[in-house]
Amino acid sequence: MRIPCPLCGMRDLREFSVRGAALPEPEGAAWSAAWDDYLHNRDNPAGESREFWYHGQGCGAWLVVTRDTVTHEIADVVLAGAEAGA
């Protein structure tokens, strides 16, 4: 598997680590059912999935990777900040 980093181009899987499902963080800092759901429960799709990946051995960027979990095909990669519109 290789991932096209928007800053570095096509790079080997070894340079990246997956940082989990790209889910929106719940509002507020207090513990709630929404936080439990955010931390633990997953759609865990067999198919298209949106995940955070960290390019730790490369440019250090956080990416949102749209990837097929059955074929390992990568459909889209964007910088995490840009994706969130931040």
Partner 1 sequence: MRFSALRILKEGLTGNKGWQAHWRDAEPKPAYDVIIIGGGGHGLATAHYLAKRHGITNVAVLEKGYLGGGNIGRNTTIVRANYGLPGNSEFYSHSLKLWEGLEQDLNYNVMMSQRGVLNLCHSDGQRDAFARRGNAMRNQGDDAELLDREGVRKLVPFLDFDNARFPVYGGLYHARGGTARHDAVAWGFARSASDRGVDLIQNCAVTGIDIEGGRVRGVQTSRGAIKAKKVAIVVAGRSSQVAAMAGLRLPIESHVLQAFVTEGLKPCLDHVVTFGMGHFYISQSDKGGLVFGGDLDFYPSYAARGNLPMAEHVMEAGMAMVPMIGQARVLRSWGGIMDMSPDGSPVIDRAPVDGLYLNCGWCYGGFKAVPGSGDALAHLIATDNPHPAATRLRLDRFATGAGLMDEEATGSQHNLH
How far separated are the first and last CA of the chain, in Å rounded? 29
DSSP 10-39: EEEGGG-EEEEE--PPPSSSS--HHHHHHH
**Residues touching partner 1, count (CB under 8 A):** 26
Q: Which of 4, 8, 9, 13 binds partner 1 (CB under 8 A)?
A: 13
Tokens of 8: 């570095």
Q: Which two tokens stand for residue 59?
A: 């440019």
* Least distance in angstroms from the C-beta of 64 to partner 1: 14
Selected from 37, 56, 57, 84, the binder of partner 1 by CB under 8 A is 37
With tokens 């929404």, the residue in question is 34
| The only residue of 4, 9, 20, 56 in contact with partner 1, by rule CB under 8 A | 20
Report the residue number, 71 or 86, with the smaller CB distance to partner 1.
71
Binding residue (CB under 8 A) for partner 1 from 36, 48, 56, 81:
36
- Asked if residue 69 binds partner 1 (CB under 8 A), the reply is yes
